[in-house]
Amino acid sequence: MSATIYKCPNCGAAMSFDSATQKLACASCGTNIDVVDYDKYIKELESEYNDNNNEEFSSDAGEYDGDSSENMKVFHCQSCGAKLVTDKFTSATFCSYCGNPNLVEERLDGEFSPDYVIPFKINKDAAVTAYKDWLKKGILTPRSLARNSVVEKISGIYVPFWLYDYSANSKMNALANRVRVVRRGDYEYTYTDHYRIYRDVSANFDKIPADASEKMPDERMDKLEPFNYQELVEFKKGYLQGYLSEKYNYNAEEIEDRTKSRAKESITNITRGTIKGYTSVVVNGNDVSVSDLKNTYALLPVWMLNFKYNDKNYSFYINGQTGKIVADRPVSIKRGIVFFITVFIIILVILMIGGLYI
């Protein structure tokens, strides 16, 4: 098993994926190369080497050490030779010594090879700025969380998702009524028209996501949605350069129920939405069927920052494509007290001044 570094064809330094240009970029010589073009370049080198040497091309990759436990694996960094220790799900990481990005290729091959990826659109600086702006908006949020020692821990990670396609149908029965009131003289007449309603609605759902990582909380990943699937591209390993990533913990069947129930709820609500123009509607029967069409494995970008405040852990997530923030906001008791007193004084002054004019 090997860890791989994408090296610059110009100067040989390690390359990272640049979210601004959406290309692999070399920090040393400034070379930018498209991920697809880089793949072609490697394949050309490979076939050229094999033709010349009649040997199979072996990438200049570090070797698997063999020294590992069930949950941890050890590799060698291709750049400096240092040992990289990863858990069994990590597929992209950084060398702790030289800082170069490394890919664990075997965790991106075969059944673990993603079908698609949405490359990062938001770079680290933008993520840090978004975090700091979010901190400022919280009146009671402690400002000490803007320290560089906290901020520099922000990490870009490709989270494994399963995307499900469904065909759904709902057959709904309901009773509805329409009420109108007429006044004649001293009497009020209430006319209630009763109706029996039936609807048969079907829809196809495209790429309902469910995160397949055990480490990522499902509720937070759901709130990061939606991702813009227009920017979903065929997976190339080059997109992972410079970011962390993981392979899935759960296969498609294991977490399917979550997305199926979402599809059921959506088709029910859509069907109910077609019953309009009535004063009240009571649904007395709903037969919903959802059938699988397809599922695909994709890596979606997320910026993540974990921090501690008052011995409590907090997490901050940004959708690495759209910039949507999902986070817990810690509360500073000191700021809370000052805020309370300030608001109290302001309201009291307003009430007292109001008494002058009443």
Partner 1 sequence: MKTINCNFKKKIGFVAILCLIFSSFILVDFIQESLKPMVVTATETKDYVIDDANVLSDIEEDQLEKMCKTASDSANCDIVIITFSYGYDGSVMDKYVRNILETEYGFNGSGSNCDACAYAIDMTSRADRIVTSGVAKSSISQSKLDSIREKAESKLANGNYYGGCSKFVSDIKTAIIDGTHVPTTKEKLTEHFAIKLLIALFAATIITFIAVCNAKAKTTTTDMTYVKNHKYNVNAREDVFINTTVTKRKIERSSSSSGGGSFGGGNSGSSGGHF
Q: What is the dihedral of CA 110, 41, 33, 127, to 10 degrees?
A: 20
Residue 312 backbone class (left: φ over 0; alpha: ψ -120 to 50; beta: rest): beta
Q: 10 Å Cβ neighbour count for 30?
A: 10
Please identify, among the stretches 111-119, 150-158, 240-248, 321-329, the one whose residues bind partner 1 according to the rule CB under 8 A.
321-329
Is residue 197 close enough to count as binding partner 1 by CB under 8 A?
A: yes
Segment near partner 1 (CB under 8 A); pick from 47-55, 79-87, 95-103, 320-328: 320-328
Instruction: Check residue 312 for interaction with partner 1 (CB under 8 A).
Output: no
Question: For residue 262, which of 121, 163, 193, 176 has the smallest C-alpha distance?
Answer: 163
Contacts (CB under 8 A) with partner 1, residues 109-168 = 138-140
3-state secondary structure of 350: helix
Minimum separation from the CB atom of position 265 to partner 1 (A): 8
Nearest residue (CB) to partner 1, 66 versus 354: 354
Determine the interface stretch with partner 1 among 16-24, 42-50, 150-158, 260-268 (rule: CB under 8 A): 260-268
Residues 267-296 that bind partner 1 (CB under 8 A): 267, 269-270, 273-274
Q: Which residues contact 55 (CB under 8 A, 6 or more apart)?
A: 49
Nearer to partner 1, 2 or 332 (CB): 332
Task: Using the CB atoms, write b or e for 178-190: b if 16+ within 10 Å.
Answer: eeeeeeeeeeeee
Minimum Å gap between C-beta 310 and partner 1 is: 14
Q: Which is nearer to partner 1, 27 or 347 (CB)?
A: 347
- Residue 61 CA to residue 57 CA, distance in Å, equals 11
DSSP 183-218: EETTEEEEEEEEEEEEEEEEEEEEEEEEE--SSS-H
How many chain residues are in contact with partner 1, going by CB under 8 A? 66
- For partner 1, the closer CB: 42 or 281: 281
**Residues 7 to 26: which contact partner 1 by CB under 8 A?**
none
Q: Which is nearer to partner 1, 12 or 226 (CB)?
A: 226
Task: State the minimum distance, in angstroms, from the CB of residue 181 to partner 1.
Answer: 10
Closest approach of partner 1 to the CB of residue 325, in Å:
7
Residue 51 is a binding residue for partner 1 (CB under 8 A) = no
Q: Which two tokens stand for residue 122?
A: 């938001």
Written as six digits, the tokens of 64 are 């698997």
The answer to whether residue 41 forms part of the interface with partner 1 (CB under 8 A) is: no
Strand-pair partners of 162: 210, 297
Q: Provide, rounded to whole angstroms, the least separation between the CB of residue 75 and partner 1.
A: 36
The token duo for 314 is 């907090």
Backbone angles phi, psi at 243, to 5 degrees: -130, 165
Closer to partner 1 by Cβ: residue 70 or 188: 188
Q: Is 190 in the site for partner 1 (CB under 8 A)?
A: yes
| Cα dist from 256 to 139, 163, 180, 295, whole Å | 40, 10, 47, 9
Residues making contact with partner 1 (CB under 8 A) = 138-140, 176, 183, 186-208, 222-223, 225-226, 262-263, 265-267, 269-270, 273-274, 324-329, 331, 336, 338-349, 351-353, 355-356
